[in-house]
A and B are shown apart, each in its own frame.
Chain A
Amino acid sequence: MMETETQQTPEQMIVFEDVSKFYGDILGVNRVNLTIAPGITSLVGPNGSGKTTLMNLMTGLLRPTRGRISVLGVNTDDPEQLFRRVGYCAQFDSFPRGATGRSFIRSYLSVHGFEKREADELTERALERVGLQHAADRKVGGYSKGMRQRIRLGQSIAHNPSVLILDEPLNGLDPMARAETIRLFRQLAAEGLHLIISSHILHEVNMMSDCVVLINNGYIVAEGDIHGVRDEMEEHPMQILVRCDRPSRLAARLFEQDHIVEARMHEDRQGLFIKTRDADKFYVLLNKIVLEEKLNIETVAPADDDLDAVYQYLITSEGAS
């Protein structure tokens, strides 16, 4: 659990307490206990792992078979209170027939209960934030996939929610729009929002997330900040790249240790990939070897301390088994 969570009250968090959801006999998610603090939290997992189910449960579109969910202290059964605080950009790519970008956002703000002038102001602000003012009066039906994604994002942030839930929000966006959108997410997170994002694009999740929740087959496999999750995976060797002048000498010394699983030469023969079960012991040992062997070290860096590696370990065939 993240450090910040200990300072937050349940009214500032999203809390899942022993939540399960079954679709008849089919498992959606099972026994989820999760606490999400402000910042960007990414839900990562393969298709059908339960990410969307988790998001739909958070927004009351689905009701849990068991357990309890509260979003900033509000029960998800109470849409009137919940959606003053929550915006949800779902994956469903459908729009009311004939709606323009502006009328799409504007009409749902009026359903929120905003007065006309206020709804107009919020609409313009949302269009500006997602960079669609120029296309606001065109029909959404004629938008590109990326524009449709952005107008849905605009609709979900238009009422200035405290919690923003985004199901695959980067899908269909070109690189420029992706960068813009990630910048917007960061800005919203800096304003104190909770952003819960599901994505398959691990590189981008890695770049923008404060916290990740790895989910597979309906179970939460790991949660926390990416480095913390990596540290928790003690059973999985950690890979470290050491670039130095005599890597073969280093390899020979390292093989004497039990916690070293593998040492593999870098392609340019100027470095060594080392897999260890105990990173702390390794760093102490490396210092000792460097002093004793008088090695010239260029760099020492974790080679798999990113989300991609964590995902591979925990969710793909090896992790799943």
Chain B
Amino acid sequence: MSSAMNVAAVEKKVEQSRPWSLWLRQAGAIFRLELRKNLFGKRAVLLYMLALFPVLLMALLALVNSEDIRTNFSEVNEVFSAIYQGLILRTVVFFGCAWMFMNLFRGEVVDRSLHYYFLCPVRREVLVVGKYLSGLVSAIFLFLMTTIGSIFFIYLAGYPTSTQFLFNGPGLGQVFTYLGITILACVGYGAVFLVIGLFFRNPIVPALVVYGWEFINFLLPPVLKKISVIHYLQSLTPIPMSEGPFAVIAEPTPAWIAIPGLIIFTLIVLAVASVRIRRMEIRYGGE
């Protein structure tokens, strides 16, 4: 078949399927390729270690303090909330998302492989969506496992008191709330770090700046608190964490604002990423 005929055939097919089915097919192909890289690539090792850390810690705590956990389960539940917010949310999910999402584009620039995508007849926005969704699914998978694993050991150590708390008390609702917060954290932090990876050659410094901003969130005045991801996530936690004597107290944002707010924020950040990537050049030599 001549190339002219091929091009005509492809264009006809594109015309017929344009735009959504083609874009979905392309985004799906990018998603599958990236998912493999995210979960089985060399960079995934660090993520698995990070994701496993709280689970191992909880397992150790459960092993050492099983008697205390069984007798004071409601207290332990508060301790878990602090561990979840301080360790899982602010550290594991934060740095895990930073590593995964910043590498979606920056990692390919370092590996000198981004041009393969740029040389395909695919809208750059579709590339952003495909990559973001692959990162999101990978992060949700890993960090839900972290959350579930950590909760599992606490509940296992607290058995049989914990069973009562889980099925006849607020336990099950709390578990689902923690899982929902983990998912939302991946959604919000994922978008932030994807865009950082697109704008900065060395994204570590801006990532640390974001970490610093999120870390001092408890000291910020209420208006500034709202310009952060952690504020909305904390507003959703079932048991509020004490932030110490210097914390500036602010009303938590209701869930009906926090959840759509985070999603809208994510969409805006992804739109910025799309604008950026449309103008992006491949200059590996300059990296």
Residues of chain A touching chain B, judged by Cβ–Cβ distance below 8 Å, are: 23, 56, 59-63, 79-88, 90, 92, 94-98, 107-108, 110-113, 115, 155-156, 159-162, 188, 191-193
Please name the residue on chain B nearest to A60 by beta carbon.
B118
A97 lies within 8 A of B41 (CB): yes
A56 to B: closest C-beta gap in Å: 7
Instruction: Decide yes or no whether B201 CB sits under 8 A from chain A.
Output: no
Residues of chain B within 8 A (CB-CB) of A108 are 116, 120
Residue-wise, chain B 101-144 has the 8 Å CB interface mask toward A (1 for contact) of 00000000001110111111111100000000000000000000
Partner of B7, one of A63, A95, A107, A160: A160
Identify which of residues 1-43 in chain B touch chain A, using a CB-to-CB cut-off of 8 Å: 1-4, 6-7, 10-11, 14, 17, 22, 25-26, 29-30, 32-33, 37, 40-42
User: Interface SS of chain B: helix, strand, loop or mixed?
Assistant: helix
A76 to B: closest C-beta gap in Å: 11
Partner of B282, one of A56, A84, A112: A56
A84 lies within 8 A of B113 (CB): no
Partner of A113, one of B3, B25, B32: B25
10 contacting pairs across A/B (C-beta < 8 A): A23-B283, A83-B119, A83-B121, A107-B33, A111-B33, A111-B117, A113-B17, A159-B6, A192-B2, A192-B4
Residues of chain A within 8 A (CB-CB) of B1 are 160
B interface, size bucket: 35 or more
Please name the residue on chain B nearest to A72 by beta carbon.
B7
A318 to B: closest C-beta gap in Å: 30
Partner of A84, one of B29, B121, B281: B121
B283 lies within 8 A of A59 (CB): no
Residues of chain B within 8 A (CB-CB) of A79 are 118-124
Given A23-B286, A94-B113 in contact, is the A111-B29 Cβ separation under 8 Å?
yes
Partner of B14, one of A59, A86, A113: A113
Instruction: Decide yes or no whether B200 CB sits under 8 A from chain A.
Output: no
Given A79-B118, A111-B122, A113-B25 in contact, is the A96-B14 Cβ separation under 8 Å?
no
How many angstroms from the CA of A23 to the CA of B284 in the assembled complex? 13
B113 lies within 8 A of A62 (CB): no
Please name the residue on chain B nearest to A88 by beta carbon.
B119
Given A63-B281, A94-B111 in contact, is the A81-B33 Cβ separation under 8 Å?
no
B256 to A: closest C-beta gap in Å: 39
Residue of B22, B26, B123 contacting most chain A CB atoms (<10 Å): B26
A123 to B: closest C-beta gap in Å: 13
Q: Told that A61-B282, A112-B122, A161-B7 touch, could you supply 17 new A-B pairs with CB distance under 8 A?
A: A61-B119, A61-B281, A62-B281, A62-B283, A63-B279, A63-B281, A79-B118, A80-B123, A84-B11, A88-B119, A90-B115, A110-B25, A110-B32, A111-B120, A113-B25, A113-B122, A160-B1
A160 lies within 8 A of B6 (CB): yes
Residues of chain B within 8 A (CB-CB) of A98 are 40
How many angstroms from the CA of A107 to the CA of B29 in the assembled complex? 7
Partner of B3, one of A59, A92, A192: A192
Residues of chain B within 8 A (CB-CB) of A84 are 7, 10-11, 14, 121
A160 to B: closest C-beta gap in Å: 4
How many angstroms from the CA of A90 to the CA of B17 in the assembled complex? 30
A161 lies within 8 A of B3 (CB): yes
How many angstroms from the CA of A197 to the CA of B6 in the assembled complex? 22
Partner of A97, one of B22, B26, B37: B37
Residues of chain B within 8 A (CB-CB) of A191 are 2-3
Residues of chain A within 8 A (CB-CB) of B119 are 59, 61, 79, 83, 86-88, 90, 156
